[in-house]
Structure 1
Amino acid sequence: MVSGMRLLTEDRFMEKAQAYQAVLFSRGVDVNIEVVNQLNARFLRLNPDMALCVDASGLWLCGNGMKMQPDWTAEVPRLKRASLKSEMIARACHLSEKPAVIDATAGLGHDSLLMAHLGARITLIERHPILFTLLEDAKNQAESDPFLGQVVARIQLVFSDSAVYLDQLIARQQMTDVVYLDPMFPQRDQHQQVQKKQAQVKKQMQLLHLLLPEQGEMDLGDHLLVLARKIAKRVVVKRPRLAVFLAAQQPDHQWQGDTCRFDAYFNENMY
């Protein structure tokens, strides 16, 4: 049980806040509702401690003067520009075949949203109850969007530890087309020359790093690769361009971009 988390809201959103409180409690998060006069940018700057907040747009994670939620609606312009030919992830995951994809490192769900738009059937796995609830809220809101509704219909959210989920598939000998891994904290090769000045982490990811510390709730994904290779035709790992191989396993093929790459591991016995 996660306890002591504040859930900030204005009086007019109290009913909505209580509904989120009940959902979070059912997932092991005990939040305390605090009513504030105005839940605005000034309030967040003056109250930098991490908390949850509820307003007209739903549930947010806030901290350090910022707030974030997986804003799938904001991804629509990117989706409308995307095609099977233009997106490297489409080639890496063989999306032209409309595969069944398990995204075992959910994050904000943006890559899953893109893959679903390009025709894949996605199972999106997330174990952290707060992040799962944020993703669920994003999916629920997207369902009423004329463009996104048909996209998110191809996404199934599963509240589970990815390692446990993959272990269960292995035990049942239940195979899938693709397992997709995008670890949040990829290790970098100390022998590679990596620029010292790197782009600032986006605000959304900064808050996720507060929620999912590297030493604790989050992992680097190495063990997931080992499990995924047992039940997938191909495992695709998204990495920074100069990062070391996940679990020190050399991929069968790579797709290289300017800032990132996709490492693919093929299960020849399943082709």
Structure 2
Amino acid sequence: MQLYSEAIYLDQADQFHQTLAQRGVLTHVVEVEQINARFLRHHPEMALVVDSKGLWLSAEGMKMQPAWVDEIGRLKRATLKSEMIARACQLSEHPRLLDATAGLGHDSLLMAHLGAQVTLLERHPILFTLLESAHAQALQDPYLSETVQRMQLIFNDAEKYLTSCVADQFDVIYLDPMFPQRDQNKNALKKQAQVKKQMQLLHKLLPEDGEMDLGDRLLDLSRAVAKRVIVKRPRLAVFLADTEPQHQWTGDACRFDAYFQH
């Protein structure tokens, strides 16, 4: 995979190159005169880009990274009462929380901001490196630094990690599978709106050998480790692992299904 960088950021690009190599991803650092929208349009293949904001994934003229700084507006508005996720995960109790399907980490950032000690799991080497870059950038931000100090990143497969955990190691496990697009109800497949640009790039980056990773196998593993498991779903989606939750919080676009320890 190409790793594009302007001359001023070549040292950072080389560091990312070495880190990714240790994680099994081979990159080729390419110095370019200027990385802008025109350059990205003319280089539509999937690649990595380094600039003043850290590491990005690019493809087909789009650029994506976990944009934690862009979440500051939402964080400033968020309260324990206003956020449904806070009620579902009991964030008022400052839980030890495992986000086993971290993705871009936006929900983890919100939960840490509202008081949780959050461990983020990510198994894909490129996505994990993007998360590391976002975490490093956020540590330098005066508003985010305190929040991200409550966030720990772990490069591991969720199934393997959960299997190694002991009971009650976490108070809450949070699951938001990357690809929950099965039948939106149990009878019919509904037409879906176009996925956001960031999600489009993630879908290109994370093909599960042609199949969607639904996260079904994680539910029972999670219930053996935590007293409370919260699953984020599209509002009309089927239950994870076809298992009916014991409680639900439902909003306009999504819902949170709760499962309690066996």
TM-score (norm 2): 0.95
Residue 183 of structure 1 aligns to a residue in which SS?
coil
**Is 1:100 the counterpart of 2:65 in the alignment?**
no
CA distance 1:22–1:217, change in 2 (3 Å): farther
Q: For 2:3 and 2:189, locate their aligned partners in 1 and report how far apart those are by CA, in whole Å.
A: 40
Residue 16 of structure 2 aligns to a residue in which SS?
helix
Provide the alpha-carbon RMSD of the alignment.
Answer: 1.6
* Map of 1:226 onto structure 2: 220
Q: For 2:187 and 2:110, locate their aligned partners in 1 and report how far apart those are by CA, in whole Å.
A: 30
Residue 173 of structure 2 aligns to a residue in which SS?
strand
1:191, distance to aligned residue in structure 2 (A): 3.4
Letter of the 1:209 partner, please give it.
H
**For each residue in 1:129-159, what CA deviation from the matched residue of structure 2 results, as whole angstroms up to 9, or x when unmatched?**
1100100110111011111000001000001
Residue 238 of structure 1 aligns to a residue in which SS?
strand
1:37, distance to aligned residue in structure 2 (A): 2.0
**For each residue in 1:46-100, what CA deviation from the matched residue of structure 2 results, as whole angstroms up to 9, or x when unmatched?**
1111000111221110001001111100000000000000000001101111101
**Is 1:83 the counterpart of 2:61 in the alignment?**
no
* Map of 1:191 onto structure 2: 186
**For each residue in 1:97-129, what CA deviation from the matched residue of structure 2 results, as whole angstroms up to 9, or x when unmatched?**
110100000110000000000000000000111
Letter of the 2:35 partner, please give it.
L
Asked if structure 1 preserves the Cα contact closer than 8 Å seen for 2:112 and 2:150, the reply is yes
1:214, distance to aligned residue in structure 2 (A): 4.1
Residue 165 of structure 2 aligns to a residue in which SS?
helix
Q: For 2:248 and 2:141, locate their aligned partners in 1 and report how far apart those are by CA, in whole Å.
A: 35
Q: State the percentage of identical aligned residues.
A: 62
Q: For 1:184 and 1:199, locate their aligned partners in 2 and report how far apart those are by CA, in whole Å.
A: 16
1:213, distance to aligned residue in structure 2 (A): 1.3
Residue 78 of structure 1 aligns to a residue in which SS?
helix
Q: For 1:10 and 1:217, locate their aligned partners in 2 and report how far apart those are by CA, in whole Å.
A: 36
* Map of 1:48 onto structure 2: 44
Letter of the 1:252 partner, please give it.
Q
Q: Residue 67 of structure 2 is aligned with which of 55, 68, 71?
A: 71
Asked if structure 2 preserves the Cα contact closer than 8 Å seen for 1:192 and 1:242, the reply is no
Q: Mean Cα displacement is larger for which, 200-209 or 122-131? A: 200-209
Asked if structure 2 preserves the Cα contact closer than 8 Å seen for 1:27 and 1:129, the reply is yes
Q: Residue 196 of structure 2 is aligned with which of 199, 202, 212?
A: 202
